[in-house]
Every structure is written in C-alpha cells, then in structure tokens.
Amino acid sequence: MTTPSFRESILRHLTYSFGKDPDHAILEDWRMALSLGVRDRIVDAWFKSTKRTYDTGAKRVYYLSMEYLIGRLLEDGLVNLELVDEAREVLSEFGYDYDTVLADEPDAALGNGGLGRLAACFMESLSTIGCPAHGYGIRYEHGLFRQSFVDGRQIEQPELWLGQRHAWEFERPEVRYRIGFGGHVDVRDGHHRWHPGEEVEAEAFDTPTVGWKGRWANTLRLWSGRAIHPFDLDAFNHGDFARAAAPEALARTISRVLYPDDTTEQGRELRLKQEYFLTASALRDILRRFSNQFGDLRKLPEKVAIQLNDTHPAIAGPELIRILVDEKGFDFDEAMEIAQGCLSYTNHTLLPEALEAWGEQLFGRLLPRHIGIIDRIDATHAGRNPSRTQSMRADHSVKMGQLSFVMAHKVNGVSALHTDLMKTTVFSELHGLHPDRIVNQTNGVTPRRWLLSCNPGLAGLITDSIGEGWVDDLEQLSKLEPFIDDAGWLEKFDAVKRDNKVWLSNWMQGTYGMLADPDALFDVQIKRIHEYKRQHLNILETIALWQEMRENPNADWTPRLKLFGGKAAPGYFFAKDIIRLINDAASVINNDPVTQGMLKIAFLPNYNVSLAERMIPAADLSEQVSTAGKEASGTGNMKLALNGAPTIGTLDGANVEIRERVGADNFFLFGMTADEVMERRAVDGHAGLAIAADERLKGALGLIRSGRFSPGDPDRYRGITENLEGPDYFLVCSDFTDYWRAQREVDVVFRDDKAWDRMAALNTARSGWFSSDRTIRGYMADIWDAESLL
C-alpha cells in the first residue's frame, strides 16, 4: 500500500471520517481532519516501534504519574513529523489560517504544574530517544480548572477538554481491569486473600506519543473509570431513574477531576482511590504484558523499570508484593526484593505539607490488605536496619515518602541542590542507611516544543547559523557562541525577540484588550501561585518602583511590563489573595497618568501550556525568585533561559545549575542561600528588622495597608501584610532589599541594547544541557538500566 500524500490524507479524512466536503467543513472539521492525517503517520511509527520492542525483548520503562500536562498535540505531531509547511499550504488552499486551526484544539491540562509538565516532556523525549516506554495516568474528564478574574479575584470553572472532538486517543474496550476497594481480608493457613467490598472497572485509552522525525513512538495509556454493572434496570423499571444511573455516576467519579479538594475527608478518600486506581490498573497491565512475553516473574526487574512520579503512585510497592505473594505464591522477602528491583522514585518537593501522609483509618478502610503489607515492609526494614529510628507508620498515618524510599532501588531528586537537601533533611536517616540510593537527575525540557515549535523565529535563526542538529542534540547550541560577537547576527537575534514581543502585544490586545508596549522590558513570572514562589515579592517591588517613579518621574526609567500568569489552588486562600493584590495593583498603577509608559502590570488569565508557549518566546526577563531551598528544580526557568530571557533569581533549585552554565555575568543573582535562609529564620523578628532597614519596603507595605489598592476596603490585604510583617516564613522582607538592587541592575543592562542582547543570546547558547533528552538518558543509565532501540 502506498502512503497517500498528506494533502490526500487530510481530504480523505474530511470526507470519510467526518462526512464533510471542503465547502461545508467548519474549523473544527479541518482541525480534526488535519489531526487524523497526522495521526495516521504517527500510528505507522507506533506499530514499528512496538514490533521492534517485542522482537528485541528489550527492557521496558513504565512511568507512573497522576499528571500529564500535555497541552495541545497537533503542533507536536506536525513538527516532529516535519509536516508544518505542507499543513500550512493545504489549509491556506482552502482559506484557513494555520495558527487559527491549531488554536482550535483544546489544551489538555491533566496536571497542576511542573510535575505534570515534566511527565509530558519526558514522554516526548523517551520517544525521541527510542526508549521503549509507556506512560500510565488517569484520563480525567475535567483537568485543571479554567481560571478567570472577576474584580481581580480568581474564579474557577470546570475545564471541558473533551467537550470538543479529540483526535489523539484510541479507546481500548478490550483492556479493562476490575479494581477493588475496601472489604476485608481472610487469612487461612497464613495465606491472605483480599475481598474488596466495592469494585470499579478501569478502561484504557491510548495516545501515541511520537518523537523527533517520527523515528519512534511510545504509548500514553490513561485509565477511565466505569461501572461494572453500569445500569440498574430494576430501579429504572420502578421509576427510580436517578438510582438506575447511580452506579455509573459513582464509578465515573474516580476519573472525573484532577486533584479533588483534600480539605474534606471525602476529597481525601477520592484522591487515595484515584492513586490506587491508577497504580493497580498499570501494574495489572504491566504484569500481563510481561507474562505474555517472558513468563518467569523472578525476571521482572530485568525487563521492567517502573518510575514513580512522586509518591502519588507509591502504593505500587505494596500492590506488587500483594500480587506476588497472595496471587502468585511468592514468599514475602522474595516479593519485596523483586518489587524493589523494578521500582524507583522521584521526589519533587521537600515542603513538609506536600509530603503525602494518609491517616491510617482511611487507608486501612480503603486498602485493608495493603496496610498490613506496609507494616510488614516496615518491620522487615527495621529488622535489617536496627539503628533506624523513623518508621513509615508513625503518628497514626502512612508516610508515603518513606514507603517509596524503602521500596525503590533508586531515589532521585530533580536538581543538584534539591538532591543534596534530600540527603540532609527529609531523607537524612534513610540516606545514612542506604548511601547509594539517592541520585540526582536534574530536570530538563523538550526542545521540540519549547524552542522549535513555540519560537519559530529563533529556531530558524539557530538552524540557519548552525544547522538543525541542535533539535535532538541541544548541547550543539554552544556552536552559537562565536556568532554572538558578530553585531549583525546579534541584531537578528534582537529582531526575533522584538517580533515575538510585538506578536504577544497584539495578541494581548486582541484577546484581552490589554495594551503592551513592545519596547518595554517584558518581565515575566509564570508558574503556580504559591507563597514559596514569592509572587508577592515581585508585586511589592513593583509597588515600590511605582512609588519611586512617581517621586522622580523625569529620571531615566527603563519602561517595564510586569507580566504574570498562574493559578492558585482553589482552597489556598493566601495565594488567591496574592492574585487579587496583583490585579488590584494593576488597576491603580496602569491608570496612573504619572507613570504611563514607564510601568504596567498584566496578569494574563488561565495560564496553561498554550499560554506559556506564547509568553516564553516574548520574555526579556525570567523571574525565579523562590525562597532558597524551596523550589525543587523549576522547569520554566529552563524554558525562559533557552528562549533568551536572562534570569533574576535566587540560588534555588535548578537556578543554581542555570547560573553555572550561562555564567554568573549573565544571571541576576540576589537573595539568601538555602543555608542563610535557615539561619535567618531563627532570628527573632527578622521581618521587622528588614522592614525597618528599608524605606521602600516599608512604603510599599504601608500603601497596601492603607487601602491604596483596595479603596474602601483597607483590610482586604491584612492577611498578607500581617503575615509579611509577622512570621514571614518565606522571608520576603529579608530578601527584598537585595531583590530591589538586582532589579535596578537589570534596568541598567537593559538600556544598553548590545549588552542585553549578548546576555540574552548567551543564555540561549549555554542552555543546551537543560534538554529533557539529557535527563532521560540519565534515568536510562543510572536508574532504569534501559537502552535505546534506535
């Protein structure tokens, strides 16, 4: 069979898959026909990859993650299969604009932030490298909420990414597993048998993920919940229609929403159910595939590597032991060893409140067999390590971090600093007992999406300069260094950035009616809203700057646009207040005639992957201002540096490594180190001392307290000001003065076009190490012992 031309393929799908002729097709029909044309080619690569994996009997990697922040997939496919130009031509032949068609695709936000986006970058890199892998996750009907602002406040609405047609997944009705919860455990002759009290069915939906040039494609398999007996006909026939549909509605709840609110017991129960649902379905699938091909379960660690993306799938350890012992007749110690041989765990946070711990009541009620197994794991570990003092079963809870550590043969942090802190803080005792277990794998981002697709101007300049080898060998960007001394080349680099800024300004005006001056410095902070990420430090500096500009309006100010993007967790009221404060400050400052043209604030609503793709190429300055020791890595910092935005930041997470690579001269460093943070926190009244020593900070806090940004409602931000003037756990006040200093340094360099362009270009040229291809190769070599089949 000869492959039809891409054009033919699109038109055939329009006709035969959607029953439309070109004259009557609407935008969505074209988007779908184009997607299916792309998908056909991905499927070809997918089959070849799958066949090769079977034929070679290679080891497979399984990535278990509660989150995949994939965003749109059409452009990914077009770019990786090098079909962009053809797609553009076909669409324009029929009067459609390429970008408009691409923007019609819903943004799949099956994740919260960095952890979920990392999983999506990893899937792309695994395919680019040709490492046989499956991603397992949950097919949430509603991903992350849609954010809008009403009177400056965040409003959350459900996101319906499946509300429009979705081209990428294949439903697999033949791949279904029954997943149980609750019930009781029988013990007979020392054999345990779990009899769940409730069961739901997990059904697989597969999305092929294609790598660069379509050389390889892996599978992202997402599970959807269904009822085993979906419909109660008896109830229906008695006129009780609600009860008739109840089993289905209840079963579906499990895959209904990402991250249910965990402030209620019901919310926590649902979350734990989701975690077990994902993990148990994935393990069932992995063991089925393994048994079909290899049989002997003792060989599992030779052929299977299972990566736990944070502790969310940590139940994998006990579940695998349960299957091996209760269902396959292994003895406990051997089962535990097999499980440890397969499992490894990535930690993404040291924040104590983010380390999962489940109340033993809830856990024991939902997973009665597993809690017994965890006790046995804990006892086994304690027996082998008599000096141990910490148990995974302390304080009437189950500590998932400790469980994951003990059940994994490797545990990794996501940046050098974070990995060191893991060894000295949360995991210090376990690290002492198992000194070879913790390894570092600094995060990375896929250059296909985060440079080639999102910044075609810069990608084009790079390829014209050094060829296209950089796309799957990002360290080749270092070949750009000699060009940076060439004034003509640097001007082209500058022109690309300017075009991107003009584009973003126009888009902001068209979409939100916001006016942005492309000559201003685009100062960008985009990430989840969190106290440790310190968006409030940024807004305090903005307010102080505004004051200073008002006092001295004729000075030579560097015009700035402070751009924000990010969502706050719906129950995180402090973070929501920060959003409102930024928006309130924007209303006042943007309307001040004195500072017109000098300072502006724009908080773009509903930050998601697609918005990031628009903002990052247009950024001049990257705000990475977390309290040192709190941001495990960050990945937005890498995307921004790669796209030529120097960082203003603390020595936190991967900022440390970014600074080492781009050079201290090309990074605006400020703030305390992680060690200094710990010392400072011990100083009584540290915030008061910092405020007393800095008139600008005092002034900015005073303005907020006075109600300047909340006319008629001066108490609106009392929560924030009292926190900052009191405990200030994240040391906003103590880092303010140095942050201000670094910002004024930015002003100076930005006014010198050449110096700035050089710095920006060096950031691009020296960010090649931050490719997720490099990260994945690190996991393959140091953790999974897996090989590329390309």
CB 133 to ligand F58: min, Å: 18
CB 137 within 8 A of CB 371: no
- Catalytic residues, which ones? 348, 527-528, 533, 635, 639
* Position 152 contacts ligand F58 (CB under 6 A): no
Work out the number of other CB atoms within 10 angstroms of the CB of residue 16: 11
Rule CB under 6 A: say whether 563 interacts with ligand F58. Answer: no
Q: Applying CB under 6 A, does 608 fall inside the site for ligand F58? A: no
User: Closest approach of Cβ 528 to ligand F58, in Å?
Assistant: 7
Residue from 13, 348, 434, 716 touching ligand F58 (CB under 6 A): that is: 348
Distance from C-alpha of 756 to C-alpha of 249, rounded to nearest angstrom: 57
Q: Please name the amino acid found at residue 97.
A: D
Binding residues for ligand F58, rule CB under 6 A, total 16
Contact between 772 and ligand F58 by CB under 6 A: the answer reads: no
**Residue 428 and residue 417: Cα distance in Å, rounded?**
14
Query: Which residue from 567, 533, 747, 562 is spatially nearest to 650, judged by alpha carbons?
Result: 533
Q: Which residue of 304, 414, 539, 662 would you call a contact of ligand F58, by CB under 6 A?
A: 414
Output the CA–CA distances (angstroms, integers) from residue 749 to 204, 216, 395, 646, 668, in the order listed. 53, 44, 54, 11, 10
Does 357 help bind ligand F58 (rule: CB under 6 A)?
Answer: no
Candidate list 118, 204, 251, 308; residue touching ligand F58; CB under 6 A: 118
Q: Does 455 bind ligand F58 (CB under 6 A)?
A: no
DSSP string, 599-626: EEEEE-SS--HHHHHHHGGG-SEEEE-P
Interface pick for ligand F58 out of 37, 71, 77, 113 (rule CB under 6 A) = 113
- Does residue number 349 form part of the binding site for ligand F58 (CB under 6 A)? yes
| Angle formed at CA 513 by CA 509 and CA 517, multiple of 5 degrees | 45
**Site membership for ligand F58, residue 347 (CB under 6 A):** no
Nearer to ligand F58, 80 or 633 (CB): 633
Would you count residue 635 as binding ligand F58 (CB under 6 A)?
yes
Structure tokens at 719: 């929560």
Two structure tokens written together for 647 = 């960082």
Backbone phi, psi, residue 651, to 5°: -80, 75
Judged by CB under 6 A, the residue of 9, 49, 53, 112 near ligand F58 is 112
**Which part of the chain contacts ligand F58 (CB under 6 A), choosing from 102-110, 112-120, 213-221, 751-759?**
112-120
Q: Which is nearer to ligand F58, 118 or 520 (CB)?
A: 118
The residue among 279 and 635 lying less far from ligand F58, judged by its C-beta, is 635
Of the candidate residues 77, 566, 653, 671, the single one contacting ligand F58 (CB under 6 A): 653
Q: What's the rounded Cα separation, in Å, for the pair 743 and 459?
A: 29
Choose the stretch contacting ligand F58; rule: CB under 6 A; options: 107-115, 229-237, 293-301, 542-550: 107-115
Q: 262 vs 375, which CB is nearer to ligand F58?
A: 262
The single residue among 32, 101, 115, 217 that binds ligand F58, judged by CB under 6 A, is: 115
| Cα–Cα dist 120/449, whole Å | 10
Least Å distance between CB 190 and ligand F58?
Answer: 38
Under the criterion CB under 6 A, does residue 259 sit at the interface with ligand F58? yes
Cα→Cα distances 8→4, 578, 763, Å: 6, 52, 43
Taking the complex as a whole, how short is the minimal distance between the CB of residue 107 and ligand F58, in angstroms? 17
* Residues 6 or more apart in contact with residue 432 via CB below 8 angstroms: none
CB count, 10 Å around CB of 47? 12
Check binding of 344 to ligand F58 (CB under 6 A): no
Applying the rule CB under 6 A, the residues between 8 and 37 that interact with ligand F58 are none
What type of residue sits at position 536? H
CB of residue 234 to ligand F58, shortest distance in Å? 40
Beta-carbon contacts of 104 under 8 Å, excluding residues fewer than 6 positions away, are 27, 28, 31, 164
| Interaction pattern, residues 614-633, with ligand F58; x per rule: CB under 6 A | -----------------xxx
User: What's the min distance (Å) between Cβ of 224 and ligand F58?
Assistant: 20
Distances (CA, A) of 362 to 66, 365, 371, 749: 20, 5, 10, 56
User: Contact, 11 vs 5, CB < 8 A?
Assistant: no
CB 389 within 8 A of CB 381: no
- Under rule CB under 6 A, residue 114 binds ligand F58: yes
Q: Of 114-122, 166-174, 331-339, 537-545, which segment contacts ligand F58 by CB under 6 A?
A: 114-122
**Residues in the site for ligand F58, rule: CB under 6 A?**
112-115, 118, 259, 348-349, 414, 443, 631-635, 653
